[in-house]
Structures are given as C-alpha cells and as structure tokens.
Amino acid sequence: MAIGDAVCQRAGTRDEGMDGTTRMREDASLATTTTTTTTTTATTSTTARAASTTASRARASWASTTTSVLGFEHDATRTARFFAVGATVHGPFFHYAFKELERRVGGGTCARTVVKKVAIGHTMLFPSYTVLFFVAMAYLEGWEAPATRAREQLEEKFVDTILAGTMFWPFANAVNFAYVPTKWRILALNVAGVAWNAYMSHVVNANSAPLDRGADGAIVVASAREKAR
C-alpha cells in the first residue's frame, strides 16, 4: 500500500469516527446551516441589485417592492425569493448532500479523496441543484405557467450556468474539501457562494418580468430584448 493511500485512509477513519460521536449534533445543525444559507443568499441578492446599474427599472407593480436606500435600489420581493430558495432548497440540499458525500467517499483530505468529491459534486450535485434552483425561482416569481417558464430558463441558461460554474466551483470545492474541517464546510460553501449567488441573481433576473402581467411591461421587456440582439 502506498504511503499516500495509508495517510488518506487514516484521515478518513478519523473523520468518520468524529462523525459517529457527533451524529446527533450534526443532525441538529440543519437549522444553523439553513440560517446561514438564507442570510447569505438574501444578502447577496440585495447587494447584486444595489450594485447593478443596468438592471431594468420597469417592473410590474405586483412583482416588485423596489425602494431606494442610501442611493441604492432594494427590491424586497427579489430578496425574499432568494431567502426562500436558501431556506427550502439550498440549505437542506447541500446539508444532506455533503453528509452523504462524506459517508460514501470518506472524510480523508488526500488528493485522491478530494478529487473524487470534487468530481461527484460538479457532475451530480451542481447540475441537480441548478435544476432545482431554476424550478424554484420560476414558481416564486409568480408565473402563470411556472413549469413552462422553468423549462425555458433551463433550455436558455442551463449550459451557460454549468460552464460558468466550471470556472469557479471545482477550485472552490477543492480548497473546501482539502483544508476545511467537515463541520465547517457548508459555511465555507456559503462564503464561496457569495460571488456565485450574485452571478445567479443576475442570470435569473435577466429579462425576468412576466410578459402577461401588463402591456406596458411587455413592451419594455420586448424592447430590451430587441436591443440585446
């Protein structure tokens, strides 16, 4: 057996033992995980909105509660949507997904184990979560046909989102799995997700005003799309 393999197995055994003695505490940490996730996603969405100077100012009254705070625009409805996604999708999904990943692959931090986790995370967890994200946002945005909207969003943006994520998440996850203790990895994921959530906030809100909610809004959105071409 190679020295590196032995070190990796010993590290994995040590982490698994720790997980066994703290299983009840880790199960109870779901609430903490969800809280930090919702706070991060909602705050990032607010920051992205405030920093954006190109976002459309034409919003149907039913879908937006935009106010100006210290010179920045704050869309409370948009923030609430990201808060809801963090609470119901992102937090629980990665809480249980990371626990299952640790159980199946092991808690070692050697290169072999880290590569396995990064590969599984990027080929299985990331695409699955991206689908759930667009579906959840389609329903939360109040579209009359949310399933159709989700399918259109996925057809239009899924590949680009995965490609963009490929430039970011494998590196962030490699650092996370290699250097961050198991119990802090979701928090580290949320910290790394600040930049990613800002990107997703921009992606999901690009041309996102429902066209069937008012003639004026439809005209504005159609005009914006024509200019984009």
Q: Which of 186, 218, 201, 211 is nearest to 81 (CA)?
A: 201
Which helix (H) or strand (E) is 69 found in, with range?
strand 66-69
- pLDDT score for 120: 96
Residue 7 lies in a domain: yes
How many structural domains does the chain have? 1
Dump pLDDT digits (tens) for 159-172: 999 999 999 999 99
Dump pLDDT digits (tens) for 103-148: 999 888 999 999 999 999 999 999 999 999 999 999 998 899 999 9
- pLDDT score for 45: 52
- pLDDT score for 195: 84
Residue 184 lies in a domain: yes
Residue 202 lies in a domain: yes
Residue 98 lies in a domain: yes
- pLDDT score for 208: 58
Which residues constitute the domain of residue 154? 3-29+91-206
Q: Is residue 107 a contact partner of residue 12, using CB atoms and an 8 Å limit?
A: yes
d(CA 166, CA 160): 10
Residue 58 lies in a domain: no
